[in-house]
Amino acid sequence: MRVISGTAKGRSLKAVPGQGTRPTTDKVKEAIFSMIGPYFDGGMVLDLFAGTGGLGIEALSRGMDQGIFIDIEKKSLDVIQDNLKSTRLDAKAETYRNDATRALKALAKRGLTFDLVFLDPPYRMKHVEELVSYMEENALLAEAAVIVVEHDAKHHYPEQMGGAQQHRRVEYGEIAVTVYRFTRNVGQTPDEIEENDHERTTH
């Protein structure tokens, strides 16, 4: 695994030892950032089931200002911290060991809002809708925030989760990536949502 583009382009990323973590392949990662970026003009990213931290690190490398990395496994946190140091992005990042729900509660108390959220939970977990709902209800999502869900291709998430409207769904073998765009004005047209996204990113 490596950082594909941006300030840390080409730097290798460590994997988490054992079989419990499923890192996003470089091919899928490149496809994700082609859909949502490819580069960013600042903003804050949340990597909630961070694993190796590869997605959040890629976002920082491509222009996000600050990143928060959450994982419940200590070995994952150790790898994330090593990867942040090796990419020289550690000054832009915070790492926490916690489960997703408790982490979101703590972040809400801090009044943080995120422009980009990565949700790559273990495939047996199907509570992404609850997490997105909590983020919306507690103002954790910035206007025009993008939510990227990586999941088992056999599972289909709904077209809409509150104010988050499904924008793209792409399959890569057994893996699927579903991209949502959030707006508090649920009645916006797809063109208006797309325009908001162009204002948030640079190409």
Task: Note the pLDDT tens digit of each residue in 162-173.
Answer: 999 999 999 999
pLDDT in tens, 119-173: 999 877 878 999 999 999 999 999 999 999 999 999 999 999 999 999 999 999 9
Pairing of strands 66-71, 44-47: parallel
* Tokens 């924008």, residue located: 167
Q: According to DSSP H, which parts of the chain are helical?
A: 26-36, 54-61, 74-86, 100-109, 128-137, 190-200
| Cβ count near 172 (within 10 Å) | 15
DSSP of 18-67? SSS--PPPHHHHHHHHHHH-SEESS-EEEETT-TT-HHHHHHHHTT-SEE
> Quick check: 195 pLDDT over 80?
no
Average pLDDT rounded to a whole number, residues 77-101: 97
Alpha carbon of residue 19 to chain centroid: 21
For residue 58, give the nearest of 115, 140, 132, 3 by alpha carbon: 3
Where do the domains of the chain lie?
A: 26-173
Pairing of strands 201-202, 39-40: antiparallel
Task: Please state which CATH class domain 26-173 belongs to.
Answer: alpha beta
